Amino acid sequence: MLSFSPSPDDSSSRGGAAEANGDPEHAPELAGKLVRPRFTQPSKMRKRVIARPVGSSVRLKCAASGNPRPDIVWLKDSQPLNLMPKHSGKYTCHVSNKAGEINATYKVEVIQRTNSKPILTGTHPVNTTVDYGGTASFQCKVRSDVKPVIQWLKRVEPGDENKFNSTIEVRPPLRGPAHRGGVVPP
């Protein structure tokens, strides 16, 4: 899906002069004053070249303010669609009002997904001995072009299935693709 912000339902594209300028206190004095359009979230617009796999999604942001409230127009088909190589190209957000105009252009490259196996990065989990009641921690870092499925398995010898009541707890990572797990004692 290719979607653009703001949409007609976006709060940043509705309202009067006060809302458009983000300054409700000075709304009466700005009512007749022309204010040149400006991007209100330029930090979210820094990445101008975006590469995404075929069939994935991309969202381009273009929040702006001005007085009168600027018209925001995307200059390419703005209907939702699944990304295909033919959708690669330059997408331009044109913002204008009586006081002026601004543009932001993104270059979108739709790349073919590679079907390569995930790569283990960093140190691989190693055998660990833990005191009874203690906790062991394992880490598995994986690099992949698609979201990998990571499973932690515990080897259990035949006949020992009911001897141990240990579980493996996998918590989502704080950052990056690393998955951490710990053996929780019974």
User: Where is the domain boundary, 82, 111, 140?
Assistant: 111
- Do 37 and 78 belong together in one domain? yes
Q: Compute CA distances 31 → 14, 16, 37, 97, 99, whole Å.
A: 15, 9, 15, 14, 13
How many domains are contained in the chain? 2
24 and 43 share one domain: yes
Note whether 93 and 78 are same-domain residues.
Answer: yes
Residues 119 and 170 reside in one and the same domain: yes
* CATH number of the domain residue 86 falls in: 2.60.40.10
Judgement on whether residues 140 and 173 belong to the same structural domain of the protein: yes
CA separation for the pair 38, 101 (Å, rounded): 8
131 shares its domain with 61? no
Give yes or no: residues 141 and 100 share one domain. no
Per-residue pLDDT of the chain (186 residues), as tens digits, is: 455 554 333 333 322 232 333 444 445 455 678 999 988 888 877 777 888 788 777 777 778 899 998 877 666 655 545 567 888 888 888 889 999 999 888 888 877 766 678 888 877 777 888 888 888 888 888 877 777 778 777 766 666 655 554 555 555 545 444 444 444 444
Residues 14 and 106 in one domain: yes
Query: How many alpha carbons lie under 13 Å from residue 186 in its C-beta half-sphere?
Result: 5
Final residue of a structural domain among 93, 111, 129: 111
Q: Are residues 95 and 172 in the same domain?
A: no
Residues 92 and 146 in one domain: no
The answer to whether residues 98 and 6 belong to one domain is yes
Question: What does the pLDDT read at residue 14?
Answer: 29
Residue at which a domain ends, from 58, 80, 111: 111
Claim to verify: residue 120 and residue 104 sit in the same structural domain: no
Domain that holds residue 10: 2-111
DSSP string, 85-114: GGG-EEEEEEEEETTEEEEEEEEEEEEPPP
